[in-house]
Structure 1
Amino acid sequence: METREYFEKVMQDYNQNRKGRSLRKYCKEEAVDYDWLIEFKKSYRSNQLQPDENKKLDEGEFIALTVEENFVPEKLNDINFGD
């Protein structure tokens, strides 16, 4: 099994069978190398989220967004609240 496939399988199994356990506790009980999993997760995430405007996300995937600054309108009358 390829490394990426193994990582995805472990994460899928964890999400389906977490039963209130943390990832660390799940790894300990299921004999998965937690340190390797965390390191691979960091590189996996950065490889998966490369900017590509034409890429379509699979169902259930998301791109994390961050707010750089807050937008506050000068006049509340300029906002259409759907009325």
Structure 2
Amino acid sequence: MKDIKVYGPGCKRCQTTEQMVKDAAARLGVEVAVEKVTDMAAIARAGVMATPGISIDGKLVHAGGLPDAAKLEDWLQAG
């Protein structure tokens, strides 16, 4: 199971990013645990300078704007 964190204050883009992660994981058959991180101090500690951000298994893979769907699938299938 992949541990995924979606970082953002709760804006529409952040909500869309969270849903994109869940949809891509379901489509690929990848088990994920998705956590939404809205605390700005925690977001900054994670190194996210622009939201939404995504980390997979502790590694920051995306920050700022909606992720590219193909890249998102690559990240979910990696390792």
With the shorter chain as reference, the TM-score category is under 0.3
Larger Rg: 1
| TM-score in terms of structure 2 length | 0.25
Larger relative contact order (CA 8 Å, sep ≥ 6): 2
| TM-score in terms of structure 1 length | 0.24
More helix by share: 1
